[in-house]
Every structure is written in structure tokens, then in C-alpha cells.
Structure 1
Amino acid sequence: MAAHVVYVLECADGSLYTGYTTDLERRVDEHNRGVGAKYTRGRTPVEVVYSERYESKSAAMSREYAIKQLTRAQKERLVGLEEA
């Protein structure tokens, strides 16, 4: 099973956050407890709306960067929050 995960969270304010982890369940719990990324601390609860698994950290980090470069509308299409 791939150990490197790129994920997109929908925050309580409707914003989207993209991140990388090796343990998605633990990381989402950290975000929801307020010890995750600074961005999500005031935007809990968060919910995973999309994730991808990769065999290598470098592939996952490259994908995380690519997703972060997308516009809001492109991210919504990617995660299925908006009709194409």
C-alpha cells in the first residue's frame, strides 16, 4: 500500500486546504484538534474531500504542489464539489 498521501480538506468556512502526510487519519485528527497546519486552526472542523496515494514522497510532494497551483474552481472540479 502506498505510504504517501496528498489530501484536500474542506474547512468549516468552506475553504479548501491541500496537504501531505504518511498517516491521513492521524493528520486529519491533528487538524481538527487545532495542532495541524496554522491555516486550519481557526477553520475546524475539517473533512477530507479528496486524497491520492503515492509510492514515493517526491511524487506526492510534486502532486501536492501541483494541486496548490490550481484555481479554486479547478480544485472544486478535482474533488467533486462542482460539476464539470
Structure 2
Amino acid sequence: MVYYVYILQSLVDGSFYKGFTQDYHERLRQHSAGDTKSTANKRPWKLIYVEQFYSKREALIREKKALLDLIVDIIVKATLKEYYETNNCLENEQE
């Protein structure tokens, strides 16, 4: 059996939601239709990440860590971008 870990982003306020399922297309439809109480007030949602697993246990372990990994990735990219802009690194490379 196949399981998926997914991360959604609200098109209303940019917040994130993570979950796991056997059918991520259907879960996205449910979230965007308002069928899920915890996400109904922030719909519509867009799928920004999906990862496949062959065991429920692996998917559950990854789900617990997936959002944290995404947040760290966003912070690192924003920090690097700010660093490069502040230090004019991109302009110096072009000279």
C-alpha cells in the first residue's frame, strides 16, 4: 500500500498544513471544498509538496518532520537572499 505525506499552502493567508493520506489528490479536493474542519476557514489550498512512502509508519514519521523541514528551508533561503542582497554579492559576481 502507498502513502503520501503532503503540505498545503493556504491561498488566503499563506499558512501551511501538513498531512498524510493514500490519495493526496482527493485530500486536496476535500481541504479546498471545506470538508475538513481544521482547514475550512483558510481555503482554497494549493499543494506545494508531496512525498511517497510504502509503509504507513514511514509516512507518519515523515509527516511529523515535514513541516519543520519546510520552515527551516524557507528561513535558510530568506536568510541567504537577505545576505546576498545586503552584501551586494550578486552585483559583484557580474563585474
Question: Could you say which TM-score interval applies, normalised by the shorter chain?
Answer: 0.7 to 0.9
Could you state the TM-score of these two structures normalised by the residue count of structure 1?
0.78
Could you state the TM-score of these two structures normalised by the residue count of structure 2?
0.70
Secondary structure, aligned partner of 1:35: coil
What is the deviation of 1:75? Answer: 5.3
State the superposition RMSD in angstroms. Answer: 2.2
* Distance across 2 between alignment mates of 1:19 and 1:25: 12
- Aligned match of 2:92: none
Does 1:53 pair with 2:52?
A: yes
Alpha-carbon deviations, 1:10-34, whole Å to 9, x = none? Answer: 1121001111010011100000111
Higher helix share: 2
Does 1:76 pair with 2:74?
A: yes
Instruction: Compare CA radii of gyration and give the structure with the larger one.
Output: 2
**Structure 1 segments of 4+ aligned residues over 2 angstroms from their partners:** none
- Between the two proteins, the alignment pairs up a number of residues equal to 77
Secondary structure, aligned partner of 2:62: helix
What is the deviation of 1:37? Answer: 4.8
* Distance across 2 between alignment mates of 1:57 and 1:7: 14
Among all aligned residue pairs of Structure 1 and Structure 2, give the percentage whose two residues are the same amino acid: 30
